[in-house]
Structure 1
Amino acid sequence: MPGPHAARGGQPTLRDVAERAGVSAMTASRVLRDDPQVLPATRERVRAAAAELGYRPNEVARSLRLGRGTGLVGLVVTNLANPFYSRLALGVDSVVARDGLKTVIGNTGQDPDAERTLVADLVARRVDGIIAVPAGTDQRHLAQAAADGVPVVLASRPPEGFAADCVLVDDFGGARDATERLLDRGHRRIGFLGSPPAVHTGTERLRGFTAALASAGLTAEPRHIRQGQTEPHQATRAAAEILALPDPPTALFCSNNRNTIGAFRAIRSSGTDIALAGFDDFELADALGLALTLVAYDSDELGRAAGRLLLDRLHDPRRTARQIVVPTSLVEYGG
């Protein structure tokens, strides 16, 4: 006869399994922990009862009773709509899963307050570690999590105000190389579409862009620069504003895939013939019918590197913080 929880239609308990099998709760627990000392007939009876009731052990509670973590890794990202973050998550999960850990993802929407709340919630839930793409430069909540004993690894942006493992992309070098490619093709008026100024990647990519111009004896024109776009529709509007100027640029460099997609739409709508370059390769870039130079890198490797850094930190909490930089390359698509 089913136990009280099963009879009410709730989640069956270990006691329900024990009653169904006709054994004590301790014996049922020993069976489900694969204790070899339990008699085979008893083991079969308990397992059959668990299967009939649909019993699933609470692994989190069991781990905490044994003094272990929850077996969960928190991945904090800023924009789940961006395919970059899905690749990052796949890379993280492919590595931590080998250690029996599972990845839970939280989205902050580029909101520092939401990030603080999410990190606090992950710490309260006793995750084994946190991999975060910070929304801004105020990282005191991440520093506090690390001080409280939760290993923290940063991805795509470096730590501010505390020591932590991090994995970055060569943002400066990639942007400089793409801008130099446009300069080599004769462009002297080049516009820039980028992320909010507080975002490390956008700042570094703007720095690489302006450094390439400076090396060619040029200065970035403020009226040709727009920052703050996080979604394609915002980038489309920003690009349209630049293209409508009396002296529009002959080329645009975009600091991420969302801005590149938005700029492409503006170029197509305007009917202008303008060169386009951007950071982040993306699906269907080769099918746009436009000459396109993209800065490519392995976003899965960014996640894998972050996962490896976290596992190393879990196995050796006292080791020196490390920084890994993922290299970039240029990819050309013909129009």
Structure 2
Amino acid sequence: MSALSESQAPRRGATMRDVAALARVSIKTVSRVVRGEGGVSPELAARVTDAATMLDYRHNLAASTLRGHGQKTAAIGLVLMDVANPYASALHRAVEDFAHSRGTLVFAVSSDENPARQREVLDALLSRRVDGLIVMPVGTDHGSLLHEQRRGTPVVFVDRMPATTEIDSVTVDNRTGSRLAVEHLAAAGHRRIAYLGDLHTIWTAAERYAGYIEGLAHTGIPLDPELICADLHSAAAAEAAAGALLDRPDRPTALFGAQNLVTVGVLQAIRKRGLQNRIAVVGFDDLPLAELLQPALTAITQDPATIGRVAAEILFARLDGDDSLPRHEVIPTRLLVRGSGEISADLRSPHSQ
């Protein structure tokens, strides 16, 4: 017996023939309307539009390439926050490598953490009838993606948890990784450990902040709100925030950058002040050539290649007919010790406490 209930089972999407029947017009008329061609009266165009809306019809831009080739397009969509981000790029490559082994192309697009842009790029991918989607979702409203899955397009979330239990997902243990970073800095004698993180509305950022709080609690360090800088969505914003912290008379002795671009900004602020060997740093996510820095960056590392591969494995299993209950795979993080996180707190410094 299928693990999916009847309400969860994929439903066939409406066809142009269905729209034509409901609107009481010819298929050719429907084709002209959905393609934006002329030669159709406003009355007929309105009937077609209303029928398409009622049937939740999506025009298939790939239909001409599908004639005589079955119903699959041999393409999947990959929606990331920014394909230029090193983490996203590594994840993209892993998905692409797995898809290539299955004779499938990957269309990768960026959402820029913008719900409207995400909806736009998803519509573009779905209009081309991609066989499935791997998505780094924006926000907490995942109703449209759940709707697409119920229409028959498998969806897998990466990096962030879905707001529903009906969608597969692959994440890392963000909270444990952040707690480990704080505990590592505390073991070097640090009591003033600043947190610098991405937008608090992002699930991963919220989890990493929670891990920071847990790390302070586990090491007996009081929470100081003045050492918390959230909603830093660029390296420039992180540099400005880190600089403000470092310019204080009671500056922190250690900084935790909870996202790769945030860590870049933190390192820039430290370098400009010549504090490379006086302020400890741990970053969440590794950076390209991080081992060449002086000192080299200590980081909580993710494994984007494994995340991408596991997400692709799940997606293609669904495409092959796997209808088991939705899966949530958690990929562990690890602490990579290189030097920046092992700088001891200078207890004799007037900047320490």
**TM-score calculated relative to the size of structure 1:** 0.79
Task: State how far apart, in whole Å, the 1-side matches of 2:193 and 2:296 are.
Answer: 15
- Deviations 1:79-106 (Å, cap 9, x if unpaired)? 2231111100011011122211110011
Q: 1:122 aligns with which of 125, 128, 146?
A: 125
- Name the counterpart of 1:254: 257
User: Does residue 303 of the first structure (1) align with residue 295 of the second (2)?
Assistant: no
Q: 1:181 aligns with which of 184, 205, 214?
A: 184
- Deviations 1:218-261 (Å, cap 9, x if unpaired)? 23311111112222111111111121223221101111111111
Change (3 A) 1:162 1:112: farther
Structure 1 residue 140: Cα displacement: 1.8
- Name the counterpart of 1:148: 151
Q: Contact (CA 8 Å) 1:73, 1:103: kept in 2 or not? A: yes
Task: State how far apart, in whole Å, the 2-side matches of 1:71 and 1:278 are.
Answer: 38
Q: Contact (CA 8 Å) 1:163, 1:321: kept in 2 or not? A: yes
Amino acid at match of 1:287: L
- Name the counterpart of 1:61: 64
- Name the counterpart of 2:232: 229
- Deviations 1:7-53 (Å, cap 9, x if unpaired)? xxxxxxxxxxxxxxxxxxxxxxxxxxxxxxxxxxxxxxxxxxxxxxx
Task: State how far apart, in whole Å, the 1-side matches of 2:339 and 2:63 are.
Answer: 52
Amino acid at match of 1:125: R
- Name the counterpart of 1:32: none
Query: Gapped runs of 5+ residues in structure 1?
Result: 1-57
- Deviations 1:113-166 (Å, cap 9, x if unpaired)? 110121122122110000000121121221121122110000000111351111
Q: Contact (CA 8 Å) 1:190, 1:250: kept in 2 or not? A: yes
- Name the counterpart of 2:209: 206
- Name the counterpart of 1:290: 295
Amino acid at match of 1:152: V
- Name the counterpart of 1:93: 96
Q: Give the length in aligned residue pairs.
A: 278
Task: State how far apart, in whole Å, the 1-side matches of 2:230 and 2:146 are.
Answer: 28
Q: 2:86 aligns with which of 83, 86, 92?
A: 83
Task: State how far apart, in whole Å, the 2-side matches of 1:277 and 1:245 are.
Answer: 20
- Name the counterpart of 2:109: 106
SS at match of 2:337: strand
Task: State how far apart, in whole Å, the 2-side matches of 1:296 and 1:158 are.
Answer: 19
Amino acid at match of 1:320: L
Structure number with greater Rg is: 1
Task: State how far apart, in whole Å, the 2-side matches of 1:236 and 1:220 are.
Answer: 22
Q: 1:320 aligns with which of 316, 321, 325?
A: 325
Amino acid at match of 1:200: W
Query: Gapped runs of 5+ residues in structure 2?
Result: 1-60, 341-353
- Name the counterpart of 1:25: none
SS at match of 1:61: helix
Task: State how far apart, in whole Å, the 1-side matches of 2:215 and 2:67 are.
Answer: 54
- Deviations 1:156-184 (Å, cap 9, x if unpaired)? 00111351111101111111111110011
Task: Give 1 or 2: higher helix fraction.
Answer: 1
Task: State how far apart, in whole Å, the 2-side matches of 1:98 and 1:321 are.
Answer: 24
SS at match of 1:333: coil
Identity percentage of aligned residues: 36
SS at match of 1:283: coil
Task: State how far apart, in whole Å, the 2-side matches of 1:208 and 1:225 are.
Answer: 13
- Name the counterpart of 2:13: none
Q: Contact (CA 8 Å) 1:275, 1:292: kept in 2 or not? A: no
Change (3 A) 1:70 1:306: same
**TM-score calculated relative to the size of structure 2:** 0.75
Task: State how far apart, in whole Å, the 2-side matches of 1:152 and 1:219 are.
Answer: 42
